[in-house]
Amino acid sequence: MIPGPLVLPAALWQEVRALYAEPPRHYHTFAHVVQVAETSRGVSHWRHPKEVFVAIVFHDAIYEVTRSDNEVRSAEVARNRDPQLEARG
């Protein structure tokens, strides 16, 4: 789990980790997501912290080298999981 403004269910974290473990990935791994999330914690004035966190977690969930729509497809994954996301108080 990555601390953030949302609580993701354990099953969703498992799904996210599995997506980022799919080959071939050199840079776009779950470790990269953790690094970006840690860096983002240094910004104290996000207007939409939930959306930023979702973007960080899912930004490269889908990564196929030969396709140019990875970001769009990754956003669709996040959108399809939105009911599973719960904002922290």
- The pTM is what? 0.85
pLDDT of residue 14: 95
Residue 54 in any domain: the answer is: yes
Binning pLDDT at 50, 70 and 90, where does residue 89 land?
very low
The percentage of residues in the chain with a pLDDT greater than 70, rounded to a whole number, is 92
Q: pLDDT tens digit string along 21-39? A: 998 888 889 999 999 999 9
Domain region containing 50: 6-87
Residue 10 in any domain: the answer is: yes
Residue 1 in any domain: the answer is: no
- pLDDT of 59 strictly over 60: yes
Residue 43 in any domain: the answer is: yes
Enter the tokens of residue 26: 């050199």
Instruction: Name the residue among 64, 38, 40, 34 with its Cα closest to residue 52.
Output: 40
Total tally of structural domains belonging to the chain: 1
Q: What is the mean pLDDT of residues 7-32?
A: 91
* Residues 6+ away with beta carbon under 8 Å from 79: none
Q: Residue 37 and residue 89: Cα distance in Å, rounded?
A: 19
Beta carbons of 5 and 85 less than 8 angstroms apart = no
Residue 38 in any domain: the answer is: yes
Beta bridge partners of 86: 7
pLDDT of residue 8: 86
* Residues 6+ away with beta carbon under 8 Å from 73: 62, 67
